[in-house]
């Protein structure tokens, strides 16, 4: 398995634009997590899915953020409109048992 | 909010020395895990210790868990320059998701 695959690796966008981050979890992993990492706040869980269903989205900062998982092999995190304070590294992780997580390499988002 | 808190925030040692990082947490847990993050990369799972275990080994890694003190330590023996990374503890409660600490930045100087 190629592991958790995220795209793009880097994204630079202007304030106000829509940003879509993508994630392909490991096949057979029923749990998918979206994290955001910044120097100030560390690793924050934004949302997680179980069997494609959102279970806990309490970490989603505001309505500008939305996440979907249309099938077991694909998830998106969308920010619309983006703001400079959204600049961070966004990680997707998947797990088969909600204990050990496998992380993707992350998307470094810069909003200017 | 983060449950796990790592100590120290940063650690710099010479190659061949041992590195010890500590993690404290606040609530009861089912397991505690340690992850490593190399610069610009995702986190990589290193080792998991369950709440009924006191010590666990994996290669040059040794993890201890003291549930009475709500603390854990990660020892890396005979460190190498390639061990330079950030190390995070993560706590898990049955039926819940992992909560990560803020990490210890380890630098191993050749």
* Tens-place pLDDT, residues B20-51: 999 999 888 888 999 999 998 999 999 999 99
d(CA B87, CA B107): 11
What do you get for the CA distance between the two ends of chain A, in Å? 36
Specify the pLDDT at position B96: 65
Percent of chain B with pLDDT strictly greater than 90:
75
Closest chain B CA to residue A59: B1
Instruction: Tell me the torsion sign for CA atoms B57, B61, A44, B65.
Output: positive
In chain B, whose CA is at the least distance from the CA of A32?
B97
Which site among B63, B86, B98 would you substitute to test the A interface, given the most A Cβ atoms closer than 10 Å to its Cβ?
A: B98
Distance CA A70, CA A13 (A): 25
- Residue spans of alpha helices (H) in B43-105: none
Domain count, chain B: 1
Question: Residue B7: what pLDDT?
Answer: 85
> Residue B105 has which token pair?
């930045």
**Closest residue in chain B to residue A5, using alpha carbons only:** B42
| B98–A101 CB contact, under 8 Å | yes
Q: Are B25 and B91 in contact (CB under 8 A)?
A: yes
B40 CB neighbours in chain A (<8 A) are 106, 108
Average pLDDT estimate for B48-69: 96
Report d(CA A39, CA B5) in Å as an integer. Answer: 15
Cα angle A22, A13, B105; round to 5: 70
Cβ neighbours of B78 (radius 10 Å)? 11
Contact A100/B103, CB-based, under 8 Å?
A: no
Q: What distance in Å separates the CA atoms of residue A22 and residue A69, rounded to the nearest whole number? A: 10
Which residue, B104, B106, B103, is CA-closest to B2?
Answer: B103
Residues in chain A closer than 8 A to B92 (CB atoms): 98-99
A43 with B31: Cβ contact below 8 A: no
> Could you say which residues from 91 to 110 on chain A have a Cβ atom under 8 Å away from some Cβ of chain B?
91, 93, 98-106, 108
Non-local CB neighbours of A3 within 8 Å, separated by 6+ positions: A26, A102, A104
pLDDT of residue B3: 62
Residue A4 CB partners (closer than 8 Å, separation 6+): A23, A24, A25, A26, A92, A93, A94, A102, A103, A104, B42
Residue B2 has pLDDT above 60, yes or no: no
pLDDT of B95 over the 70 cut: no
**Neighboring chain A residues of B42 at a CB cutoff of 8 Å:** 4, 91, 93, 103-106
DSSP B27: S
- Hey, is the C-beta of B4 within 8 angstroms of any chain A C-beta? no
Query: Any chain A CB within 8 A of the CB of B99?
Result: yes
Give the domain range for residue B66: 5-109
CATH of the domain at B50: 2.60.40.10
Distance CA A79, CA A67 (A): 9
Which residues of chain A carry a pLDDT beneath 70?
1
């Amino acid at each position: 398995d190629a592991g958790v695959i995220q795209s793009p690796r880097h994204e630079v966008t202007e304030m106000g634009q829509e940003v879509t981050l993508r994630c392909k979890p490991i096949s057979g992993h029923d749990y998918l997590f979206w994290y955001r990492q910044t120097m100030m706040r560390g690793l924050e869980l934004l949302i997680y899915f179980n069997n494609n269903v959102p279970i806990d989205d309490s970490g989603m900062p505001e309505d500008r953020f939305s996440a979907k998982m249309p099938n077991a092999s694909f998830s998106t995190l969308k920010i619309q409109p983006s703001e400079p304070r959204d600049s961070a590294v966004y990680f997707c992780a998947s797990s088969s048992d909600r204990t050990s997580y496998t992380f993707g390499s992350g998307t470094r988002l810069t909003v200017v | 909010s983060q449950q796990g808190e790592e100590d120290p925030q940063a650690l710099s040692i010479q190659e061949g020395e041992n590195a010890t990082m500590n993690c404290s947490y606040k609530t009861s847990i089912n397991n505690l895990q340690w992850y490593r993050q190399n610069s610009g990369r995702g986190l990589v799972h290193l080792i998991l210790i369950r709440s009924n275990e006191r010590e666990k080994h994996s290669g040059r890694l040794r993890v201890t868990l003291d549930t009475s003190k709500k603390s854990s330590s990660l020892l890396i023996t005979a460190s190498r320059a390639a061990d330079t990374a950030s190390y995070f503890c993560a706590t898990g409660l049955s039926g819940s998701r992992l909560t990560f600490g803020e990490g210890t930045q380890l630098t191993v100087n050749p």
